[in-house]
Amino acid sequence: MSTLIPTVKNGNKKPSESNFNLLPNLPSWFDDMLGKGLGTEFMSNFNTGITLPAVNVINSDNEFVIDMAVPGLKKSDFEINVDNHVLSIGVESKTENSEKTESYTRREFGYSSFNRTFAIPDSVDADKISADYNDGILKIHLPKREEAKRKPVKQVKIS
């Protein structure tokens, strides 16, 4: 699971619940080992060449926007869920082709899927999250709560 944005308190990152924060957790260690040590050729789906898509996370004054390039899919292929401050983006795509002629029959099929998860900060209004998919780009809009939006700088006059 990726963290959408680190939580900051009093200018420092939020302390972890345990003193073992220097040790990597097993899933992140395994992902790092596969992603860096063995190369990305093991991360792709050999049927379609689809890899785990990279994302861009944009932090504007009013919202976070997650951009994901996933061409060749339909809106119905996506499943986007929010549960207990976790945003989950999943895709499952199946293709099937068959061809018959006098001398042979051929049937090809493929299957690809991925799932990306992100921790959503408390500053996001989870009830107003929306998504759109155009020209192979999935955009997920995570609007910030009113109290979390950046306010303009206020100049204080000295009396």
73 occurs within a structural domain = yes
pLDDT digits (tens, 9 = 90+) for 35-93: 544 444 444 444 444 578 889 999 998 999 999 999 888 899 899 999 999 999 999 87
% pLDDT > 90, the chain? 35
40 occurs within a structural domain = no
42 occurs within a structural domain = no
144 occurs within a structural domain = yes
The answer to whether the predicted template modeling score (pTM) of the entire model surpasses 0.85 is no
For residue 114, what is the domain's CATH number? 2.60.40.790
35 occurs within a structural domain = no
How many domains, the chain?
1
3-class SS string, the chain: CEECCCCEECCEECCCCCCCCCCCCHHHHHHHHHHHHCCHHHCCCCCCCCCCCCEEEEECCCEEEEEEECCCCCHHHEEEEEECCEEEEEEEEEEEEEEECCCCEEEEEEEEEEEEEEECCCCECHHHCEEEEECCEEEEEEEECHHHCCCCCCCCCCC
67 occurs within a structural domain = yes
- Give the pLDDT of residue 132: 96
Q: Has residue 3 got a pLDDT over 90? A: no
